[in-house]
């Protein structure tokens, strides 16, 4: 089991540590609901150094990456970030990722659990010339600061004008006088930043941010809070709403699918799936009662099983209701459809709702 | 918070306070802390007969579903209805407002197989 550069910080803060994606990661510090509240109303600090960071250089990177992904890479502007998905031939997802176009190359951030698979895939598919790959997984750190106060808290520590940094853009600069890539990206449904830096610098930066802003409500947050936040915001989590067999089309990510690209792995399968329009799909589900829906529970519609729950949680930002995602048959997928979720042998009323469950006020 | 000195404990981290022909049951402070934020409690129905150490319900935190066991046998006479709207009371006051159910014990001898506060403390701090 690997540890991130911030492992000591987590243990010192009394975090509960769990294995995740091959790393010992903090699942919670003060408590999932308290941390959730900090991110929605103030700001939270996350260690995401378990995620894979690959550095790609060469004049062929964009053209090559466009053949492996469903979204466009070649049209990205300098300093832009873009969500993208690598699919298999059947259209299922190898991984969902973010590309960052930097001054001298491309940063690709992949899910921790998929990092080895993705590293192998990239190397297997690498063209003979024009693409160099460097695996920085574990050596580089990733700290996220997320929440309505994130920009105000981070600004005094960086030499970049954060007001000028737009959503899904990034900048290279200094954070506490050490080199950093700052991106206005995140996975919580709030404004915020992701900070890519050298692992050796991460503890100093983590401590400096917490020391300066704990009094204003900046809380260290674990993966437990992150999962609730992303679910409320309707963001897919690999292994739940996207898998090698659940395609981006099924996951409701058609917006990221650029069928005008000449060819890419999985394109034909995804086109066929769209044309046939008879696929089970990810929907938002709200439980009527107090019983939480959990991954794997059967979902019933019209007297038969129509699918299953993929993620579920209580949702403090959705009137404390129990929310979930489910993969259901098309006839059970329309917003407003009455469903039942089978929990410990009993059926509980639920309804299909539009995603996301939560959208921040801008 | 009520004193734990008059409680008996199970190895499954439940407590029981026996008071004549009534016994109150809950989960320990150690258990609530290990579970994290509790969001739902499912308890047996009033009138149900439950057997010592049997699974009598579930307690759910944000992240997980855990089984609930009874430290002694008896008939359920009351469940804590306030937990329906405020399950977090189990986190705040596991030995007080966060109690789970009251039963009429059927086998008084069973308490001999339970742990004293000092014995439980050893398990919980291991």
- Alpha carbon separation from B85 to A209, A291, B82 (Å, rounded): 37, 12, 6
What is residue A97's three-state secondary structure? strand
User: Residue A317 has which token pair?
Assistant: 């930002």
Residue B1 pLDDT exceeds 50: no
Do A228 and A342 belong together in one domain? no
pLDDT in tens, A248-269: 999 999 999 999 999 999 999 9
Question: Locate tokens 């010339």: which residue?
Answer: A129
Do A28 and A169 belong together in one domain? yes
> In the CATH hierarchy, which fold is given to the domain comprising B8-125?
OB fold (Dihydrolipoamide Acetyltransferase, E2P) (2.40.50)
CATH number at residue A147: 3.30.1360.120
CB contacts, 8 Å: A290 with chain B: 40, 84
Q: Do residues B69 and B12 make contact, with C-beta atoms less than 8 angstroms apart? A: yes
Interface test with A, best of B43, B62, B82 (most A CBs within 10 A): B62
**Final residue belonging to a domain, choices A174, A204, A232:** A232
> Domain of A315?
280-353
Do A288 and A228 belong together in one domain? no
CB contact under 8 A, A292 and B39: yes
Do A304 and A219 belong together in one domain? no
Q: Does A343 touch chain B (CB under 8 A)?
A: no
Do A216 and A292 belong together in one domain? no
Q: Return the pLDDT at A263.
A: 96
pLDDT in tens, A215-249: 999 999 999 999 999 999 999 999 999 999 999 99
Instruction: Please tell me the pTM assigned to this model.
Output: 0.95
CB contacts, 8 Å: B65 with chain A: 292, 294
Consecutive H or E run containing B91 = helix B89-92
Do A148 and A20 belong together in one domain? yes
CB pairs under 8 A between A and B: 30
Residue B2 pLDDT exceeds 70: no
Radius of gyration of chain A (CA): 20
Do A46 and A153 belong together in one domain? yes
Domain count of the fold of chain A: 2
Do A222 and A301 belong together in one domain? no
Dihedral angle computed from the Cα positions of residues A264, A269, A274 and A280, in that order, rounded to the nearest 10 degrees: -130
Q: What is the mean pLDDT of residues A132-153?
A: 97
Q: Which residues of B touch A (CB under 8 A)?
A: 36-37, 39-40, 42, 58, 60, 62-63, 65, 84
- Alpha carbon separation from A101 to A56, A98, A191, B20, B37 (Å, rounded): 10, 10, 20, 73, 40
In a domain, A296, yes or no: yes
Mean pLDDT of chain A: 97
CB contact under 8 A, A27 and B63: yes
Q: Among B36, B60, B84, whose Cβ lies nearest the Cβ of A292?
A: B60
In a domain, A298, yes or no: yes
ipTM of the complex: 0.89
Q: Among A27, A32, A294, whose Cβ lies nearest the Cβ of B65?
A: A294
Q: Return the pLDDT at B3.
A: 72
Residue A158 pLDDT exceeds 80: yes
Which positions ≥6 away from B62 have C-beta within 8 Å?
Answer: A32, A33, A224, A228, A313, A314, B36, B37, B39
Which positions ≥6 away from B75 have C-beta within 8 Å?
Answer: B47, B48, B49, B50, B103, B104, B106
Q: Does A70 touch chain B (CB under 8 A)?
A: no
């Amino acid at each position: 089991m690997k540890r991130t550069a911030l492992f000591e910080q987590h243990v010192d803060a009394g975090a509960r540590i769990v294995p995740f994606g091959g790393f010992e990661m903090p699942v919670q510090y003060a408590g999932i609901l308290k941390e959730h509240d900090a991110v929605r109303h103030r700001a939270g600090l996350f260690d995401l150094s378990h995620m894979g960071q690959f550095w790609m250089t060469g004049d062929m990177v964009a053209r090559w990456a466009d053949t492996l992904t469903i979204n466009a890479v070649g049209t990205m502007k300098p300093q832009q970030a873009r969500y993208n998905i690598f699919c298999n031939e059947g259209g299922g997802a190898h991984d969902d990722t973010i590309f960052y176009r930097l001054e001298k190359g491309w940063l690709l951030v992949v899910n921790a659990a998929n990092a080895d698979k993705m590293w192998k895939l990239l190397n297997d598919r690498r063209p003979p010339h024009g693409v160099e790959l460097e695996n920085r997984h574990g050596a580089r750190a990733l700290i996220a600061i997320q929440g309505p106060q994130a920009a105000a808290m981070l600004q005094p520590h960086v030499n970049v004008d954060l007001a000028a940094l737009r959503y899904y853009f990034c900048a290279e600069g200094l954070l506490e006088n050490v080199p950093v890539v700052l991106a206005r990206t995140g996975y919580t449904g709030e404004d915020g930043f992701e900070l890519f830096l050298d692992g050796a610098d991460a503890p100093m930066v983590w401590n400096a941010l917490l020391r300066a802003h704990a009094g204003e409500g900046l809380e260290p947050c674990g993966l437990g809070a992150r999962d609730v936040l992303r679910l409320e915001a309707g963001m897919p989590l690999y292994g739940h709403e996207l898998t090698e067999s659940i395609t981006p089309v099924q996951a409701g990510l058609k917006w990221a699918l650029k069928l005008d690209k000449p060819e890419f792995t999985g394109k034909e399968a995804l086109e066929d799936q769209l044309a046939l329009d008879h696929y089970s799909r990810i929907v938002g589900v709200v439980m009527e009662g107090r019983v939480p829906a959990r991954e794997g529970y059967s979902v019933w519609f019209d007297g038969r099983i129509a699918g299953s729950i993929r993620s579920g949680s209580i949702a403090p930002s959705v009137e404390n209701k129990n929310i979930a995602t489910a993969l259901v048959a098309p006839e059970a997928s329309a917003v407003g459809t009455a469903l039942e979720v089978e929990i410990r042998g009993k059926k509980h009323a639920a309804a299909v709702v539009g995603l996301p469950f939560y959208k921040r006020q801008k | 918070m009520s004193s734990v000195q008059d409680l008996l404990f199970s190895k499954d981290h439940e407590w029981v306070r026996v008071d004549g022909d009534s016994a109150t049951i809950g989960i320990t402070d150690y258990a609530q802390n290990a579970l994290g934020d509790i969001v739902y409690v499912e308890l047996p129905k009033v009138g149900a007969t439950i057997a010592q150490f049997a699974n009598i319900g579930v307690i759910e935190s944000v992240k997980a579903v855990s089984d609930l066991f009874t430290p002694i046998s008896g008939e359920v006479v009351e469940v804590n209805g306030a937990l329906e709207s405020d399950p977090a009371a189990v986190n705040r006051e596991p030995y007080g407002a966060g109690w789970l159910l009251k039963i009429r014990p059927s086998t008084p001898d069973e308490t001999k197989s339970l742990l004293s506060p000092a014995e439980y403390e050893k398990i919980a701090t291991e």
